[in-house]
Every structure is written in C-alpha cells, then in structure tokens.
Amino acid sequence: MDQMMIEKIKSNPKYQELVAKRSSFALKLTIIMLVMYYAFILVIAFDKALLGVSLSGGVTTVGIPVGIAIIVISFVLTGIYTNKANTEFDDLTNAVKDDVAKWSK
C-alpha cells in the first residue's frame, strides 16, 4: 500500500468515525475495569479487615466473592466489547474497505 492510499484512508470520514468510536468505547471500558481493580487493591491496602470478614462464620470471607465478581465483570466487559466490535465496528470497517476498493479501481 503506498503512502497516498494511506493518507486517503486516514482522511476518510468513515475511518475517522471508526477510530473515534472504537477508541472512546475502549477507553470507557478500560476506565471501568481500572477503577474496579484499583478500588479492590486500595481496600486490601488500607482496610484488610473489611475483606477478611467471614460471610457465614466459616472460612469464606467477603474478599472471595468480591474477587470473583471482578473476574466475572472483566469477562462481561470483554463480551460487551466483542459484541460491539462484531457489529458496529465491523460495519464501519467494511464501509472503509468498500471505499478503498472503489479508489483502487
């Protein structure tokens, strides 16, 4: 691919929309994950006893379901991103590819 074609793709409004939407969405999901993870780490650092409280008087503490929830939420966020990538982002990518195919002819 030559430099002129790359510049045409970069200036394509559909490509710019794709990059903006994908970056914005990924940033939002990243912030959600980082806030959850660092909140968990901060609780461990500053109030260990809170996560060490027994749920039912047995061995299971509050920290175990909280940790599991963080892992499950990370999988859910990955699924949300994958779903959006396979629908909206793929449609925009295909539109850009169609434009490139028209220019190549």
pLDDT, mean of each 10-residue run, the chain (105 residues): 82 92 96 95 92 87 93 96 93 89 76
Residue 20 CA to its chain's centroid (Å): 14
pLDDT of residue 101: 83
Each domain of the chain, given as residue ranges in start order, spans 14-99
Residue 56 CA to its chain's centroid (Å): 35
DSSP letter string over 38-79?
Answer: HHHHHHHHH-HHHHTSBSSSSS-BTHHHHHHHHHHHHHHHHH
Joined together, the tokens standing for residue 71 give 């892992």
C-alpha 78/C-alpha 74 separation (Å) is 6
Give the phi and the psi of residue 53 in degrees, each rounded to 5: -70, 135
pLDDT of residue 48: 86
Give the DSSP H/E element, type plus range, for residue 17: helix 13-46
pLDDT of residue 57: 83
pLDDT of residue 9: 86
C-alpha 103/C-alpha 94 separation (Å) is 14
> Are the beta carbons of 93 and 9 closer than 8 angstroms?
no
